[in-house]
Amino acid sequence: MIFVQLEEQMMRRQLSALILGWMLAALLTGAAFAATPWQEEWERVLHAAKKEGKVAIIGPIGADRRDALTIAFEKKYGISVEYHADSGAGILPRLSAERKADRYLWDAVITGTTTTLENLIPARVLDPLEANLILPEVKDLKLWRNGALEFLDPGRQLLVMTPFQRGTLFVNSTLANPKEFKSYKDLLDPKWKGKIIADDPRKSGPGQATFTFFFLHPELGVKFIRAIAGQGLTLLRDYAQEVNMLGQGRYSVGLGFSDSLAEQRAKQGVPVEIVDIRQLKEGSDISPASGGLSIFNRAPHPNAAKIYINWLLSKEGQTMNARATGYISNRLDVPTDHAAPWRVPQPGSIKTYTQAAIDKKEKLFPILNEVFGR
């Protein structure tokens, strides 16, 4: 009798232990599959975004850029992208006209930092961007260059996605050896007089960025700008014409061209080559080109805009954007093998895209007008 009672007690203990094990396993399984706060927010926003159906973006000109910024996102999330291409100058006039008519049509903008700092932020058409970030891989600062998201304004409305070393000096490789240039001061050699063509620095563009770099560099400055102007530069305002005239051999050297256009022509067999900035004593400046990201206030599709921004700043989105543009992403986990090694930002390089650099242009413009005329 005693033996039977002991056996029953042992069986009850084993059954209790088994039940407790099942309960513990169920709890652990539930914890493993329970959504974290960011996942819950993501699913909620994604559900609302799909109801909105689309996101409206203003972005850079070029079919390759448009495709990179639309096709993969649409396939992944089933949200259509309305894409309007604008080089920058037309963005604020468009928005001003639309908003006067009480029409709020756009969610986000990808453009140059000068356009945003000088036009969009003062016009108060943007919202702070950081509150829209959800994905852990986007918010993890260790994944970003210099351990931070690079905002250019106190209100954190303008985020830099693609800082890279700009090509500033270009040659027709049948008329000039790119290896012979060790400093921009080599351009002052009399043999280059009348043989240099440049993008006009008196207007916005790569020519102005190049002369801003000259102006800010302690070993170049105003003295160099006056000296290079004395070499009889030909100034043009059409990027394609500039590269074509250099490639045709009408000039030997180019300054401040469109990097992407020069690379495109080189791939087509045109004898245009960008001088490796690492061999130049003064290096070059860093610029994001059309790599500034912002979100509009009173956005018509706020949830779709959040999904889009997080995708664009993810490794996937940044890789597609970098490969389409030839730029370098600010994300450290995005490959750089699509670009020349010298394009990766070099420590200590001058930044010509910040508000501080833009403010100093006020002192540069009078000098440019003096040496090149108005």
Per-residue pLDDT tens over the stretch 137-169: 999 999 999 999 999 999 999 999 999 999 999
Tell whether 223 and 258 lie within a shared domain: yes
Of the pLDDT bands very low, low, confident and very high (cuts 50, 70, 90), residue 260 is confident
Is residue 67, in this structure, part of any structural domain at all?
yes
Residues 45 and 147 both lie in one domain: yes
Residue type, 148: A
Q: What tokens were used for 26?
A: 């169920």
What pLDDT was estimated at residue 22? 52
Closest CA to 209 of 269, 152, 147, 290: 290
For residue 2, being part of any structural domain is answered with no
205 and 299 both lie in a single domain? no
137 and 237 together in one domain: no
Q: How far apart are CA 237 and CA 255, in angstroms?
A: 12
Q: What percent of the chain has pLDDT over 70?
A: 91
267 and 173: one domain? yes
In this structure, the answer to whether residues 276 and 296 fall within a common structural domain is no
Residue whose token pair is 């006209």: 97
pLDDT class of 23 with cuts at 50, 70, 90? low
Cβ(54)–Cβ(82) below 8 Å: yes
Res. 87 pLDDT band, cuts 50 70 90: confident
* Domain containing residue 55: CATH number: 3.40.190.10
Are the C-beta atoms of residues 45 and 302 closer than 8 Å to each other? no
**Domain, as residue range, for 173:** 167-284+357-372
pLDDT > 60? residue 27: no
- Asked whether residue 29 is domain-assigned, the answer is no
Same-domain pairing of 157 and 180:
no
Over the stretch 267-305, which tens digit does the pLDDT of each residue have? Answer: 999 999 999 999 999 999 999 989 999 999 999 999 999
The count of structural domains within the chain is 2
Is residue 17 within 8 A of residue 68, CB to CB? The reply is no
pLDDT of amino acid 35: 72
Domain shared by 209 and 157, yes or no: no
